[in-house]
Amino acid sequence: MNFLKTDFLIIGSGVAGLYSAYKLSSYGEVIVVTKKYDYESNTFYAQGGIASVFSEKDDPEKHLKDTLEAGAGLCDIEATRVLVTEGPKHVRELLSIGVEFSRNKAGEIDLVLEGGHREKRILHAKDRTGKEIELALLSKVKSISNIKILENHSLIDLITQHHLTKSLEHSEITCYGAYVLDNKKSDIFPILAKKIILSTGGAGQVYLHTTNPDISTGDGVACAYRAGAIIKNMEFYQFHPTTLYHEKGDSFLISEAVRGKGGILKRLDGEPFMKEYHPMGDLAPRDIVARAIDNELKKSGEPHVLLDVTHLIKPDIMANFPYIFEKCKSLGIDITESAIPVVPAAHYMCGGVATDLFGRTNIINLYACGETASTGVHGGNRLASNSLLEGLVFADRTAKDISEQKCGFLPEHELVPQWDKEGMINTEEWVLISHDLNEIKTIMSNYVGIVRSNLRLERAYRRIQLIYDEVIDYYNRTVITNPLLELRNLVQVAELIIRSAMSRKESRGLHYSTDYKEDRNPSRNDTVIINHI
């Protein structure tokens, strides 16, 4: 395969990527590139739900207030207002596409409460909301003839003027497409496009314990940074407060909705503790709950705390959380009779590629949406269940902006070369390099986790720099594989997180440092990193 051409190239097949494809399909041909199976994404594994104003008791201003408060004063108010006001119509569109949200006995949509929300506004499909949305969107997208999904294809790099066979005089960075690896055939080829959208999800695999699938290696952020995109607020990595603690549990997510239904966090002696940390108790924002659990573990030396739902009605537990019930039961835990052992785990990247209100980056023709993007709506800490909503709202705005432009292939598209495949596989050296993956995860978890300090960050930065140099040196000399691409991207993202954390001289939201006082007052002091290529 020499190259492919399409009107619109979308990297990633989660809610933001699929909704973008669906919205853009009326205006041209779309190619969606996804690293594994078409459904494999953070969206697919989202349990809790999608936040949106559906109740007469609720209104967008209340949703706005809760989001701003959870965001520790760092949210972009304009972007957040867009999120809460435009969100409901897109959730209704999901209903029209075929998403089956849970309903109460009266046949109305069942709205539940989650941490940080003061009103019931979480729509859910029991405890598999993400799967329901993902599969419905996939079904819709697959029914549209001018959308093509390339499974098992990995993004290598975005194509800019630095790749062209002829140097250009203009200074603005422009994106012409992407180099892609066919993981099954090991072929590398360019996909040329008029507009390119990054929606590759997060980077939870940079930590030892994460709720994210294996594919979450920060590909979009790393590639965008290398291309010269502005990266914002990467120090704010959200740890979900409650993931199952079990040697065979693989950081399995215990949804925020469990506490919304009345679950209580307790010490191992059975004593509740969250009221000691926040007036909202077990329904406090995620950064506060995660930090409280971390503090309890440090004080007690115990490996986990407990999330207790045994006081709730057994049939209700099984009806509302069938997936969680079955998963825990398979590991020997009956959650209707025993409390669930839980610990925090890396869950959501609140920073990312900086965009405006229409998904535009500082690179011409390049957009970003979903978890990959930094729209400003999450600030220093994402409010529970706002992520799927953000994916819908800003995917739609991205598609709308593109549809209103005169899109065409540029003369420079003819200057894009084939990928230089030169290199050799050094199996013995790869064994050594692959060990860097676990070292990256260990460094990030030990030094750049829920609680940080200047000393820890400086130590982490020195060690990550050494690994970065080793990985890049090996990458430049060898044949490209998906594991190598992921390692390259993870070490890049780790470095960006550490540099961002080192530059923020305060404790705010998800970035909590023992060297600085906490500040939650309104602030538009974003952390900005640019690769001046």
Enzyme catalytic residues: 286
Structure token pair of residue 414 = 């003819």
Tell me the residue ranges of DSSP E strands in 320-372: 340-349, 352-354, 366-368
Specify which residues 530 forms β-bridges with. Answer: 230
SS3 391: helix
434: CB partners within 8 A, 6+ apart? 483, 487
φ/ψ (deg, to 5) at 344: -70, 155
SS3 526: coil
Of 500, 440, 429, the closest CA to residue 468 belongs to 440
Tell me the torsion sign for CA atoms 70, 211, 340, 124: positive
CA 76-78-82 angle, to 5 degrees, is 115
Specify which residues 154 forms β-bridges with. Answer: 181
Per-residue b or e along 77-110, where b marks 16 or more CB atoms closer than 10 Å to that residue's CB: bebbbbbbbbbbebbeebeeeebebbeeeeeeeb
Structure token pair of residue 288 = 């506060």
Contact indicator for 35, 199 with CB cutoff of 8 Å: no
SS3 513: strand
Taking the CB of residue 408, how many other CB atoms lie within 10 A of it?
A: 8
Contact indicator for 388, 15 with CB cutoff of 8 Å: yes
